[in-house]
Structure 1
Amino acid sequence: MKTFPEINRRVLLRRALLLAGAMALPMSSKTVLAATAEPTALSAPMFALLGAVADTIVPQTDTPGAVDVGVPALFDALIKNWASPARALALTSALAAIDKSAMDVAGRSFTALSSAQRHDILSAHDSRALAPAAPLTAIDSAPQVKSLGALMNAGPVAEPAYAKLKELIVILYYYSEPALTQELTYEQVPGEWVPSIPLTPTTRQTGGAGLF
């Protein structure tokens, strides 16, 4: 399975270490939250939009997708238990911006579109949002806001809130048991580093406790 668009999974797994707030929830609580379809922090329309976006970023293929493993419910729990008011507003605004893109292009909300339409609209939105941010001018000397991804990679992006939204969706997906055991080849403690191995259509990346 490939995420949307192709994402450096090793970088995302490293970033997962920084999500200490998410790990404050015990695994039993995560299981319960993943099983429920009722949001506790997001409104019902926003929760539905989140589900549609998550399903587009990590769709179900031969392995479970983001919705299958309960990412929307876990994300909702993050909004309630982890995110500051400013962070929560930024994330919901990023979702609303995706919905606006759908309305501008297709005249309908993102949730009302077909899977193919969602993919096309989110792909275009993704390219704009993750483009490098414009450099500061002499007039605007305020420091640029950087997402975690920007800090660890090339630099600030045009829409840091969208970068964080996408990052959280993918990280929460890879916290799930199905992602670790079906999408990745799970090894509790991976062995020696082999820099070059044959790749086939069935080759999957390795995940496990040893990576952390």
Structure 2
Amino acid sequence: MIIDRRSALIGVAAMFGSNLFTPIARAAARDAQPIIDTGKPSVPVFTPVQHATMVALSERVIPTTDTPGAIAAGVPDYIDKLLADWSLPEERIPIVAGLDAVEARSKGDYKISAARATVAQQDALLTAAMEDRFTGGADFFDKFRQLVITGYYTSEIGMTQEREYLPVPAEYDGAFLYSKINKVYSA
């Protein structure tokens, strides 16, 4: 059996527990309609500046290393689609307001748009959000991080390159050394 995005979404959503961002929970629901697709978002959610900031910051949450990062995995498109089609307008506020606050902070601190800031500056902006050093920062960071992680680990890249998909795992070996594990496996 090949895993589909909804099944992966249910598994990833479980790791966030009761703090799960509502649109992710809504999309993960077993009886959710319509089926999640990869089409265009039904409504625009972000301004061009907000979108560019969202793209740049998603790559900082899961950067390209020896495996592809958030951008290569299509996380920005996932975030666009999830917020457009699976969230209520009021649920988008922490993300949109947070991106605006990050942009304002970047222009204030670095005199440059957050999307054009250096990697170190973008990391500092995310740290400021995480540590709630601007209004709504921690709430934005928590929800944004959930969106990026969920988008990444339910993507084909996340399921097949970052993790290793084994449709039929090998036999059980209770004495297998943890030090021999190279990747986390998903089923």
With normalisation by structure 1, the TM-score equals 0.64
Q: In the alignment, which residue of structure 2 is the partner of 1:117? A: 121
* Structure 1 stretches of at least 4 aligned residues deviating more than 6 Å after TM superposition: none
Taking CA–CA contacts closer than 8 Å with sequence separation of 6 or more, which of the two structures ends up with the larger relative contact order? Answer: 2
Greater per-residue helix proportion: 2
Do the aligned residues in 1 keep the contact of 2:63 with 2:69 (CA within 8 Å)?
yes
1:198 aligns with 2:178: yes
Identity across the alignment (%)? 23
One-letter identity of the residue aligned with 2:100: A
Unaligned runs of 5+ residues in structure 1 are 1-10, 131-156
One-letter identity of the residue aligned with 2:186: G
Deviation, structure 1 residue 25: 5.6
Q: In the alignment, which residue of structure 1 is the partner of 2:3? A: none
One-letter identity of the residue aligned with 1:199: S
Q: Find the residue that maps to 1:159 and give its secondary structure.
A: helix
Q: In the alignment, which residue of structure 2 is the partner of 1:48? A: 52
Q: In the alignment, which residue of structure 1 is the partner of 2:83? A: 79
Unaligned runs of 5+ residues in structure 2 are 1-10
Q: Find the residue that maps to 2:69 and give its secondary structure.
A: coil
- Distance between the aligned counterparts of 1:97 and 1:190, measured in 2? 46
1:181 aligns with 2:184: no
Deviations 1:110-148 (A, max 9, x none): 11112232123323432x139xxxxxxxxxxxxxxxxxx
CA-based RMSD of the aligned residues comes to: 3.3
- Distance between the aligned counterparts of 2:92 and 2:173, measured in 1? 39
- Distance between the aligned counterparts of 2:92 and 2:112, measured in 1? 25
Counterpart among 117, 120, 129 of residue 132 in structure 2: 129
With normalisation by structure 2, the TM-score equals 0.71
Q: How does 1:1-212 map to 2 (within 5 A)?
A: 12-15=12-15, 19-23=24-28, 24=33, 26=35, 29-30=37-38, 32=39, 40-126=44-130, 128-129=131-132, 159-188=138-167, 197-199=177-179, 203-208=182-187
